Structure 1
Amino acid sequence: MTGPVPLAVVQAIAPSTTVTVRDAVVDLMRRFGMTSVFANPGSTELPMFRDFPSDFRYILGLQEASVVGMADGYAQATRNASFVNLHSAAGVGNAMGNIFTAHKNRTPMVITAGQQARPILPFDPFLSSAQATELPKPYVKWSIEPARAQDVPLAIARAYYLAMMPPRGPVLVSVPVDDWDQPAELVPGKVVSTELRPQPAVLQQIGDALDASDRPALVVGAAVDRDNAWNDIVALAEAHNARVFAAPMSGRCSFPEDHRLFAGFLPAMRERIVELLRGHDLILAVGAPAFTYHVEGAGPHIPAGARLCQLTEDPDTAAWAPVGISAVGSIRQGVVDLLARPGRKERPLPPARVAAPRVEPSPLMSAAFALQTLAEVRKPEDIVVEEAPSARPVMQAYLPMTRSETFYTMDSGGLGYGMPAAVGVALGKPGSRVICLVGDGSSMYSIQALWSAAQLRLPITFVILNNSRYAALQDFAPVFGFSATDVVQGTELPDIDFPSLAKGMGCAARRVSDAGELRDVLAHALDSRAPNVVEVRIA
């Protein structure tokens, strides 16, 4: 599946048949192409799934954060909103970390949450959600508990359109348990445009600045790949001989990392961004904020003598950009319009990025050697879903992504996304081999996803880089005044037996400590076409 089913589909229920809220919602889900339901069941959701349609599938997650992570990966892989069902306040609360990530990832997602029956809501009943619409805010685009049962189908239709409207994101509809059997009407089909072209006058200013520059640089973010603009951004960079940097904390790969014009990755630090962009007289951020920061900084946001322009699908991002010109609208349409301009300036090729030196094996295996080996075993079309924060700079040096839609991570920085997202991506791209690259600490946030992968027999290789610690926190501690000899409390993770955990959930598993064994173990896991866990012990 690559998108929603056309809305002109014939209604599945004859007009003479008595239609319930459940019937009307199922009809909508079928027409929107949302026939995979990602869920963890609770009592207030059971009536929704009575007489479950034979053309639908129920994807069970063992915890709500895993459910939303799977739905996120699936929605990104299929480019259509996913459908999620959660259990009242407790389920939404458990899921909030990955709802936040879906919000940051701009992932379209229709979430329904169960609610107690309407007649007992005034008595604050057990398992009710007292403020159902407020609970997920501000990390959903819209939330509602319809005033009447008959309003539920229209609310879900509106939720779908809003989820798919740029900037995309999750929405939530709270549905009381007694609504599903109430009479309702089918929702008429309609077409809603979700592609907005950037304002021509503003785009012309950006194009004029780009054409006039001597040393332009592009900073590309996740929205380039989300909006199917990969080939267009490559063409724009080549047309202007512009160096291309990946934006800080980007959740997708949006430019081939082996390309002659690729210059590397910007960190989330103001001073370092300015240093790396020094020498460029125009900086065009495409599909990314300008810029995402992680620590407090000082000084200018761009180098002296440079001009900042931005093309974004998000008006909020344009509003907080500190300087420059911002065009808001479809990334792909904006880049296509910039490519259509005539008379480009001739520029020499900028300096090439220096390749990372080859790593040799050592008694205590390094993350660099592990990822270099994975890069040699992996095929370019294999998909990587990553959640290994401390190893990310190493990954960026030794595991290049070279094709569109082959890399996914979280824009949020919140853990617990990677393992379930890999399940969702594998479901959304059947036939593709998926590699989930995850740290030992990260893996424990949503380890339940291994069970779903095993039950669904998905071709996922979970590579757990185990350094027995929260290395990202230890590495980050000096920023907050820790000395090299200080103990960072709560960051040691000894004695986790990942092969035993994996086998207990139905996945084959191996632990590798010897660098000489790693290549064969990874190759076997990738070729097995079944879920495998490879725990790699690293220094």
Structure 2
Amino acid sequence: MPSSHTSSTPRPTVRDAFLRLMRELGLDTVFGNPGSTELPMFRDFPEDFRYILGLQESVVVGMADGYAQATRRAAMVNLHSAAGVGHAMGNIFTAFRNQTPLIVTAGQQSRAILPFDPFLAATQATELPKPYVKWACEPARAEDVPLALLRAWHMAMQPPCGPVFLSIPADDWDRPCDWVDPRQVSHAIAPEPHAIARVAQALAQSRAPAIVVGAGVDRDGAVERVVQLAERHHAAVYAAPMSARCGFPEQHRLFQGFLPAMRERIVEALSGHDLLLVLGAPAFSYHVEGQGPHIPPQAQLWQVVDDPQIAAWTPTGDAVVASIDLAVDSLLQGPAAQVDRAAPPERQPVPPAEAGSPMSVAFALQTLDAVRGADDVVVEEAPGSRGVMQRYLPMHGAETFYTMASGGLGHGMPAAVGVALARQRLGKPGRVIALIGDGSSLYAIQALYSASQLGLPLTFVILNNGRYAALQDFAPVFGYAPGDKPAGTDLPGLDFIALAKGHGLPGVRIESAADLRSALSQALSQAHPSANLVEIVVA
């Protein structure tokens, strides 16, 4: 594309061209934790841009992850060279697994002194974040930095979405370069017509179909379409193992529950179905070693996913690589059911949870479900309580639930800040509820500061059971005798109200079940416009 400047027009600096391109791409919010090699980038920082400070680099990436997911657009991250990128790697890994589009920039020492291995230089800077970025680049010339940003944007947004990385030397910003104009690139993947027609025909002819939904359904904005598809075919719907988003309303009459991340139990759960249609998820994610078939012997499996790598390693069945919304649109145009089939039986409601003393997690989440608003959003990182959450805190459908797909802790608290910031900017109603375990919270507790400073409609709900519950509960799978605790899994003496106060947030500690409903109602009310924290002591 021809440059937009003429030979008589002064050439811009790298900074000028980079910032103009950021503006044209909608990248006017930067999540960062500044260091010396990044300072030249932010000189004369535009007044219409916003810098969101995180107190630690992993918090920065987590906030950007939540923001990007909620806006469905790539977010800009700025980190310090080497050590800063290292601090951020846990949440870069999670962003990769979440398929979140992020443009991660990091400073680099000046090109003029790089041959002398200077202080704060990143050795082989582009190798550090690999393999958990889709693309990594330190431009060969300063004048190539804006062009690298444009490529980074399209790489991050192209399915499967994910983080990309740019290393930028500190002395690049004042060098002359050319303007770079944005280009329109279609990022959607249409399904191959013959392949998706085969899926539609198999679905129409099946006796007892099941649809398994993953995070890709919500990521591609296809939840309502999948509801239509399931209702049209009277299909049972299951959530894929370890799904990081809500792909189907969990109180819908066709929803059958959550598949475990264990091969034998997946086969058992799906044994009554002759066709399995997996949408927006691997088929299947496992957490422990298993044996035997991956699907019931009588079942046919079709998988629709936007990641060709997932399609390649799936051990059985056929796959279509496509954006989920476009694929489901095609399936809705296919034939209706060609056999008589009854709708699957509805799940039995869970029995009411008793309070107990200390109160149970089930009672705490049952109460939270009763008082939350219809537009409230849950960002969760309480893996020890996830099974209870799935029974007592059902999610309502599109854009109502976020968690980490990686299993890595330290994502949930900052991601909740990013989701709340995005929803506030987009004018969406409701409050964000960060449902966090006591152990998980300490991986990114500095997120409290950012939430306080930004004045977000966000409530942190800390489930304090004084232990790493997921590890203790999972220990028997790895040979521990009943009652034996792995070393280092108790967490006595934590004071989350003091931690909240130290970061500028009001907080309340609830130990009695009788006090819980009123405390949660007050914390989640519209009369409480800014961030706060509720610590719930549970058994």
Same fold per superposition (TM over 0.5): yes
Contact 1:12–1:27 (8 Å) recurs in 2 = no
* Cα distance, 1:12 vs structure 2: 12
Residue number in structure 2 paired with 1:117 = 110
Aligned 8 A contact 1:69 1:98 in 2: yes
2:314 pairs with 1:321: yes
Q: Could you list the per-position Cα deviations for residues 155-206 of structure 1 after superposition, in whole angstroms to 9, with x for gaps in the alignment?
A: 1100000000000000000000000111111112321010110111111221
Q: Is the 8 A contact 2:374 2:430 kept in 1?
A: no
Question: C-alpha separation between the residues in 2 aligned to 1:359 and 1:12?
Answer: 68
1:529 alignment partner in structure 2: 529
The corresponding residue for 1:443 is: 441
Q: C-alpha separation between the residues in 1 aligned to 2:189 and 2:6?
A: 34
Q: Deviations over 1:182-234 (max 9, x none)?
A: 11111123210101101111112211211111000000000000001011100
Matched residue SS, 1:327: strand
**Cα distance in structure 1, aligned partners of 2:46 and 2:92:** 27
1:133 aligns with 2:126: yes
Structure 2 counterpart of 1:520: 518
Report the Cα distance in structure 2 between the residues aligned to 1:142 and 1:434, rounded to whole angstroms: 32
Identify the residue that residue 5 of structure 1 maps to in structure 2. none
Change (3 A) 1:14 1:368: farther
Deviation of 1:131 after TM superposition, in Å, equals 1.1
Q: Tell me by how many angstroms 1:337 deviates.
A: 0.2
Correspondence list, 1:86-485, <5 A: 86-345=79-338, 346-430=340-424, 431-485=429-483
CA distance in 2, matches of 1:315, 1:246: 21
| Residue identity opposite 1:483 in structure 2 | A
2:502 equivalent to 1:509: no
Q: Tell me the amino acid that sits aligned with residue 305 of structure 1.
A: Q
What is the Cα deviation at residue 14 of structure 1? 12
Measure the CA separation in 2 of the matches of 1:112 and 1:309: 38
Q: Distance in 1 between the 2:478 and 2:8 partners?
A: 66
Q: Which range is displaced more, 116-125 or 354-363?
A: 354-363
- Residue 111 of structure 1, CA deviation: 0.7
User: Runs of 5+ in structure 2 lacking a partner?
Assistant: none
Q: Could you tell me the TM-score, scaled by structure 2's length?
A: 0.97
Q: CA deviation at 1:16?
A: 2.6
| Alpha-carbon distance in 1 for matches of 2:476, 2:345 | 33
Closer/same/farther in 2, CA of residues 357 and 424 from structure 1, 3 Å limit? same
Residues 1:170 and 1:481: Cα distance change in structure 2 (over 3 Å): same
| Letter paired with 2:398 | S
Query: Moved runs in structure 1, 4+ residues, more than 3 A?
Result: 10-15
Question: Contact 2:101–2:162 (CA<8 Å) still a contact in 1?
Answer: yes
Measured after TM superposition, the shift of residue 349 of structure 1 is 1.0
Kept after mapping to 1: 8 A contact 2:201/2:335:
no
Q: Distance in 2 between matches of 1:482 and 1:446?
A: 29
Q: Name the CA distance, whole Å, in 1 between partners of 2:383 and 2:152.
A: 33
- SS of 1:133's partner is helix
Residue 478 (structure 1) shift: 0.4
1:4 corresponds in structure 2 to none
Secondary structure at 2:125 match in 1: coil
Alignment partners' CA distance in 2, 1:379 and 1:143: 42
- Long gaps (5+) in structure 1: 1-7
Cα shift readout 1:225-278 (whole Å, capped 9, x = no counterpart): 000101110001001000000000111001000100000000100011011001
CA RMSD in angstroms comes to 1.5
Match for residue 77 of structure 2 among 84, 94, 106: 84
Q: 1:13 to 1:465 in 2, by over 3 A?
A: farther
- Mapped to 1, the partners of 2:350 and 2:160 lie a distance apart of 36
Please state whether the residue corresponding to 1:88 is helix, strand or coil: coil
State which drifts further: 494-503 or 199-208.
Answer: 199-208
The Cα shift of 1:487 comes to 2.9
Aligned amino acid, residue 195 of structure 2 = V
Letter in structure 1 aligned against 2:431? R
Tell me how far apart the structure 2 counterparts of residues 429 and 486 of structure 1 sit (CA, whole Å): 44
Aligned AA (1:381):
D
1:206–1:325: 8 Å Cα contact kept in structure 2?
no
Cα distance in 1, alignment partners of residues 246 and 162 from structure 2: 19
* Counterpart secondary structure, 1:429: helix
- Output one character per residue of 1:335-374: Cα deviation in whole Å (capped at 9) or x when no partner: 0101101342342111111111111222210000000000
- In structure 2, relative to structure 1, the CA distance for the partners of 1:537 and 1:11 (3 Å cut) is farther
TM-score (norm 1): 0.97
Report if the CA contact (8 A) 1:277-1:303 is conserved.
yes
* CA apart distance, 1:380: 2.1
Residues in 2 aligned to 1:287 and 1:12: alpha-carbon distance in whole angstroms: 44
CA distance, structure 2, for counterparts of residue 389 and residue 228 of structure 1: 26
Contact 1:36 1:56 (8 Å CA) reproduced: yes
| Amino acid aligned to 1:376 | A
- Matched AA of 2:519: V
The letter of the residue matching 1:536 is I
The one-letter amino acid of 1:537's match is: V
Alpha-carbon separation, structure 2, partners of 1:422 and 1:13: 46
- Deviation string 1:255-305 (CA, Å, 9 cap, x unpaired) is 000100000000100011011001100011000000000000000000120
Q: Distance in 2 between matches of 1:79 and 1:279?
A: 36
Letter of the structure 2 residue corresponding to residue 82 of structure 1: A
Identity value in percent: 62
Contact 2:215 2:247 (C-alpha < 8 Å) held by counterparts:
yes
Structure 1 CA distance for aligned equivalents of residues 419 and 336 of structure 2: 42
Deviation sequence 1:53-102 (CA, Å, 0-9, x none): 01000000000000000000000010100000000011100000000000
Counterpart residue identity of residue 256, structure 1: P
Deviation at 1:15, TM superposition (A): 8.1
The 1-side partners of 2:210 and 2:271 are apart by 10
